[in-house]
Copies of this chain bind each other. A is one copy, B any other.
């Protein structure tokens, strides 16, 4: 099935812009661009290798691009005309200058990258946008995935927009907002009795089965393309800071892929000369109820022991994170850390972020903001350094996590209002 390519396939090369090949992250073996995800020699994960065109990758060219992630098309495995194709066109979400939160935490400079403004209100729209383009090129007709909820919604919407069938698999018991959002676009949504890791195993079996013929599993057989979408978070943060890397960044860990791709994005910005080469520290954030990477970091291990998730941060509830070891590498190399906060701290942090900055984050945003607070308190984060914290999802999808409700219910009269003691 596999052929080792020294020259990329010409058609694939047109469809994948600056992408030159797939490359094994473990042994470096190269493959031509195709719907493959694991090395045939060492079973390591494959990722995209590029040959960037330095005449196209300039600050000016990017500034002239569309107001979405396709402004970075020349740094991504997508065709040059990607902005004209039917796609959800996510990205270029706000980098909020979080001065009031910084004040409360005693920090000099803090920004919140708020990805809840994406079309289905999570960062997953970025990775799915990439997978859609790869699926189109490879001729897949159905988009599929294992999902903790946000991904299912992103696929439902993107499949509808681009004219694919979709069938997504979720663990039973997800938040209602996520289930409705996954289902409303008309694709199939199948709940499986088990954890996300059970759902993931199911999908791996389905890929090898004739029943999965013609199916693009965005986070399995399209994973090398899909995962590159997270690089756009790094590009946007740097551009929105005025083409400068932040000194510290706090990133949530589910599979761990997002964190490693943000590092890859920063490295590419340095290599292409878009930003100055200066040190940055990447910090990973997990929930205590699903903290396998944080546990490995604490114990100084370089392997990650799977756990059974039990946390309100369901979008991060991956007990066996595929990119866990790579996360440990990145955080160690950049001088960062991996930390965790419990459910109570998550909710407190969600409310802190809402109260100070008007950002209603998903539980995952409570995890990053909670870890920000915790690492500042213990002195691991530098309050004087320029810092970015990620909110990757939307509080409307995890309503049950916060107990907010009306202050009072009254008769519609001035007397009733004055008597209620609210003034």
Q: A interface vs B, CB < 8 Å?
A: 67-68, 86, 88-89, 92, 94, 96-97, 99-100, 114, 117-121, 156-161, 163, 167, 170, 172, 176-177, 179-181, 183-186, 188-194, 198-199, 201-202, 205-206, 209, 211, 350-351, 354-360, 394-397, 399, 402, 404-414, 417-418, 420, 422-423
A406 and B190: CB pair below 8 A? yes
Give Cα distance in the complex from A357 to B88, angstroms.
9
Give Cα distance in the complex from A118 to B179, angstroms.
22
How far apart are A149's CB and chain B's nearest CB, in angstroms? 12
Give Cα distance in the complex from A396 to B170, angstroms.
19
Residues of B close to A185: CB separation below 8 A: 354-355, 358, 360
Tell me the nearest residue of chain B to A156, going by C-beta. B358
Residues of B close to A418: CB separation below 8 A: 211
Tell me the nearest residue of chain B to A194, going by C-beta. B412
A351 and B186: CB pair below 8 A? yes
Within 8 Å by CB of A191, from B163, B188, B192, B409, lies B409
Give Cα distance in the complex from A163 to B183, angstroms.
38
Give Cα distance in the complex from A413 to B205, angstroms.
9
Majority SS at the chain A contact face: mixed
How far apart are A91's CB and chain B's nearest CB, in angstroms? 11
Give Cα distance in the complex from A135 to B97, angstroms.
21
How far apart are A67's CB and chain B's nearest CB, in angstroms? 5
B199 and A412: CB pair below 8 A? yes
How far apart are A109's CB and chain B's nearest CB, in angstroms? 15
Copies in the complex: 2
How far apart are A89's CB and chain B's nearest CB, in angstroms? 6
Within 8 Å by CB of A117, from B117, B186, B194, B202, lies B117
How far apart are A194's CB and chain B's nearest CB, in angstroms? 4
Give Cα distance in the complex from A68 to B96, angstroms.
13
A188 and B410: CB pair below 8 A? no
A414 and B183: CB pair below 8 A? no
Residues of B close to A180: CB separation below 8 A: 395-396, 399, 402, 404-405
Within 8 Å by CB of A410, from B190, B355, B360, lies B190
- Residue contacts A-B, CB under 8 angstroms, 21 given: A67-B67, A88-B358, A114-B119, A119-B358, A156-B358, A172-B409, A177-B396, A180-B396, A180-B405, A181-B396, A184-B360, A185-B358, A188-B422, A190-B410, A192-B409, A193-B410, A202-B412, A202-B413, A211-B414, A211-B417, A396-B397
A167 and B422: CB pair below 8 A? yes
A183 and B406: CB pair below 8 A? yes
Residues of B close to A209: CB separation below 8 A: 414
B205 and A414: CB pair below 8 A? yes
Give Cα distance in the complex from A161 to B159, angstroms.
35
Residues of B close to A167: CB separation below 8 A: 422
Give Cα distance in the complex from A184 to B407, angstroms.
11
How far apart are A221's CB and chain B's nearest CB, in angstroms? 16
4 smallest CB-CB distances across A and B, nearest first, come from A157-B358, A183-B404, A161-B358, A186-B355
Residues of B close to A181: CB separation below 8 A: 360, 395-396
Residues of B close to A201: CB separation below 8 A: 412
Residues of B close to A193: CB separation below 8 A: 409-412
